[in-house]
Amino acid sequence: MAPLDIDPRWLGDAAWPAVAPFGDASSGAEPPYAVHAAPPAPPVASETFKEALARLASGVAIISCWDGSTPRGLLVSSITGLSVDPPRFLFCVRKEASSHDVLVGTEHCGVAILAEHDEAEALRFSSSRLSHERFDPQRWRLATGAPPTYRGGLSTTACQIDQRIDTGTHTVFIVTAASVDLAPGLPLVAHARSFQRLAS
């Protein structure tokens, strides 16, 4: 199989091994291109853009933290690896989310990347109707000195919140990992407003 002609700088270093199976796609000679001004584009309707976002497949994670002595958390599909050195995640939280202000005011959080068998837990954290079922001690470790920690998932990471970036309707959080636990399995995937599983 021929190597993929992809510039690894576009993809984020967390997604690839230290020695990627391809080179720098921008390093070769490039032909001259005739560049013309693009025609003015009509404004994008919000409903149309929502449909575009719904077509984006992504992993899902539960972000957890303490609100005094009360555990708080929410489900995000905006989680991505930002860098390996330092070990950082990036995720976005809507300001209207019930846990948003708590996350803005705290210094630490937990990040649990969910596995395909964690769909029930994902539903608990995506629906306010099921909020009373969250943080069951049989499924969560609730200890002082650490963020609430999910006992399942593909990975659970205790993080320090380093940056909060106001983007209008959302806040972007950049967090640095302090400890990581890993487990085998396949990921739970959000796509088309539902949870999906990878074909085995």
The secondary structure of the chain in percent helix, strand, coil, rounded to multiples of 5, reads 20, 35, 45
- pLDDT of amino acid 32: 74
pLDDT tens track for 124-149: 999 889 999 999 999 999 998 999 99
pLDDT tens track for 46-84: 999 999 999 999 999 999 999 999 999 999 999 999 999
C-alpha dihedral over 151, 156, 162, 167, to 10 degrees?
Answer: -90
Rounded Cα gap, residues 167 and 18, in angstroms = 32
199 vs 144, residue with greater confidence:
144
Average pLDDT for 17-26: 52
End-to-end CA distance of the chain: 22
Q: What is the pTM of this model?
A: 0.81
DSSP 54-65: HT--EE-EEEEE
- The 3-state DSSP class for residue 105 equals helix
Q: Which of 191, 177, 116 is nearest to 147 (CA)?
A: 177
Burial class from Cβ neighbours inside 10 Å (0-12, 13-18, 19+) for residue 119 reads middle
